[in-house]
Amino acid sequence: MDQSRRMVLGAMGGLALGSTLAGAGVAFGKENPPAAAADAKQQRFSQLGGDFSWQYQKLDPAESAMVAYDGYWHKGYGCGYGVFYGVVGMLAEKFGAPYNTFPFSIFEMFKGGMADWGTICGALAGGAAAIFAFFPRKQANPMVSELFRWYEKTAFPIFDPKEAANPKGFKGALPTSISNSVLCHVSVSRWAYVTKLGANSKERSERCGRITADVCIKTIEILNAKLDAGMDWKGALSKQESVVQCGACHGKGKMTDTLKGNMGCDACHSGSEAVLDKFHDHPKM
Ligand code: HEC
Ligand code: HEC
């Protein structure tokens, strides 16, 4: 079945389901067994077309990279917008509905690590959102982990728009740094510190535009590989050394259960001068 037909049928399925549920709601009023009442409560969450009904289609990472870079500069919408548009926006350009119904500008919120808070790198947030546009968490989480682990250990930026550099940015080669962290704050601050270029410089803006392209390329590579391998897809990158090492005692069912997350631990708990020594009274490891 071709894609557009599947979409139309998917959407019709959702409509039919919706009307059945509306009818069922009236019936529950009479008998109201507890289980059915609980089900009825969940019915508001049924969405048009069903959950995760959008299908991913293979994209060309090189083509999307330049679009993601341009998207970063478009009205200053930034990294998360650029990456997400480089995936779902390109599907919208190529296939139309339902992808073109997405309000892309919503992902301006990812800029600057969420409304300039420097939390998660917005490019990664855009990539994760693009993965979750098509896959539920059991399949999506490992793909997001692959993207995030790759980001922690990669010297950015890689992409270079050369002559096509945005006039608001910077033309030419840029110095790189490895963030060891998925956080905008750590990634940008470390780069600005290592390169002696300001965190508010043109070069830094350009750097993040190029990282937008880099993260878009990687996201598409992961999605394309997933499309080929299906349920057999596995990431190439194993758990970070620090997460394995520290996770031996920190975690559910371990010596101590006070830890949340999968970020590499060393960016913040390294005992380096910049983050202070958290280990003064720590058990011997
Ligand atoms: C040999 C087991 C073990 C390993 C390995 C381990 N921890 Fe701990 N850690 C503990 C225990 C036990 C505590 C005390 C927990 C409590 O008080 O509930 C602790 C406490 C901490 C604390 C609280 C502050 C402090 O200094 O007491 C931090 C932060 C911490 N660990 C980080 C880490 C990091 C980061 C790693 C990896 C580099 C790590 N731990 C590896 C067992 C371990
Ligand atoms: C982005 C920085 C960052 C990363 C990455 C990070 N932590 Fe933390 N962690 C913190 C901060 C900040 C606290 C709160 C410290 C406090 O209580 O003042 C904390 C708290 C903790 C605590 C509770 C004890 C305490 O001092 O509050 C443990 C245990 C811990 N972290 C272990 C880890 C381990 C293990 C990893 C890697 C899997 C990790 N952290 C990754 C910054 C980080």
276 within ligand 1 shell (Cβ under 6 A): no
Q: Which pLDDT score is estimated for 273?
A: 64
Segment 62-91 shows an average pLDDT of 98
Q: Which pLDDT score is estimated for 139?
A: 98
| Alpha-carbon gap, residue 281 to 84, rounded angstroms | 44
Q: Which pLDDT score is estimated for 198?
A: 95
Question: Is the peptide bond prior to 98 cis by the omega test (within 30 degrees of 0)?
Answer: yes
Alpha carbon nearest to ligand 1 atom 33, residue: 246
Ligand 2 centre from 260 Cα, in Å? 8
Ligand 1 centre from 241 Cα, in Å? 15
Q: What is the DSSP letter of 86?
A: I
The single-letter code of the amino acid at 159 is F
Whether pLDDT at 94 is above 50: yes
Cα dihedral 270, 110, 136, 223, rounded to 10, equals -90
Nearest bound ligand to the CA of residue 261: 2
| Alpha-carbon gap, residue 116 to 204, rounded angstroms | 14
How long a stretch of residues is the chain? 285
Whether pLDDT at 81 is above 90: yes
Whether pLDDT at 270 is above 90: no
| Alpha-carbon gap, residue 144 to 124, rounded angstroms | 9
Q: Which pLDDT score is estimated for 284?
A: 72
Q: Ligand 1 test: best mutation among 255, 282, 284, 285, most atoms within 8 Å of CB?
A: 282
Whether pLDDT at 86 is above 80: yes
Q: Which pLDDT score is estimated for 38?
A: 75
Write out the two tokens for 152: 């922690």
C-alpha count within 13 angstroms, C-beta hemisphere, residue 4: 6
Segment 257-282 shows an average pLDDT of 77
Ligand 2 centre from 254 Cα, in Å? 16
Q: Which pLDDT score is estimated for 134?
A: 98
Give residue-wise pLDDT tens across range 116-150: 999 999 999 999 999 999 999 999 999 999 999 99
Q: Which pLDDT score is estimated for 282?
A: 73
15-24, 46-55, 103-112, 188-197: range with lowest mean pLDDT: 15-24
Q: Say which residue, 123 or 275, is predicted with more confidence.
A: 123
Ligand 1 centre from 260 Cα, in Å? 13
Q: Ligand 2 test: best mutation among 269, 275, 278, 281, most atoms within 8 Å of CB?
A: 269
Residue 105's contacts (CB-CB under 8 Å, 6 or more residues apart) are: 77, 81
| Alpha-carbon gap, residue 285 to 188, rounded angstroms | 31
| Alpha-carbon gap, residue 181 to 193, rounded angstroms | 15
Ligand 1 centre from 242 Cα, in Å? 12
Ligand 1 centre from 254 Cα, in Å? 11
Q: How much is the mean pLDDT over the chain?
A: 88
284 within ligand 1 shell (Cβ under 6 A): no
Write out the two tokens for 233: 């897809």
| Alpha-carbon gap, residue 125 to 83, rounded angstroms | 9
Give residue-wise pLDDT tens across range 21-75: 333 333 334 445 566 777 888 899 999 899 999 999 999 999 999 999 999 999 9
Alpha carbon nearest to ligand 1 atom 31, residue: 282
Give residue-wise pLDDT tens across range 153-180: 999 999 999 999 999 999 999 999 999 9
Write out the two tokens for 37: 């009442």
Ligand 2 centre from 269 Cα, in Å? 7
Whether pLDDT at 281 is above 90: no
275 within ligand 1 shell (Cβ under 6 A): no
Ligand 2 centre from 119 Cα, in Å? 15
| Alpha-carbon gap, residue 64 to 216, rounded angstroms | 7
Q: Which pLDDT score is estimated for 41?
A: 87
Alpha carbon nearest to ligand 2 atom 36, residue: 265
Q: What is the DSSP letter of 184?
A: H
Q: Are 159 and 64 in contact (CB under 8 A)?
A: no
Give residue-wise pLDDT tens across range 197-207: 999 999 999 99
Q: Are 77 and 105 in contact (CB under 8 A)?
A: yes
Q: Ligand 2 test: best mutation among 149, 242, 259, most atoms within 8 Å of CB?
A: 259
Closest by alpha carbon to 83, among 227, 208, 262, 229? 208
243 within ligand 2 shell (Cβ under 6 A): yes
Give residue-wise pLDDT tens across range 206-260: 999 999 999 999 999 999 999 999 999 999 999 999 999 999 999 999 999 999 9
Q: Containing H/E element for 156?
A: strand 155-156
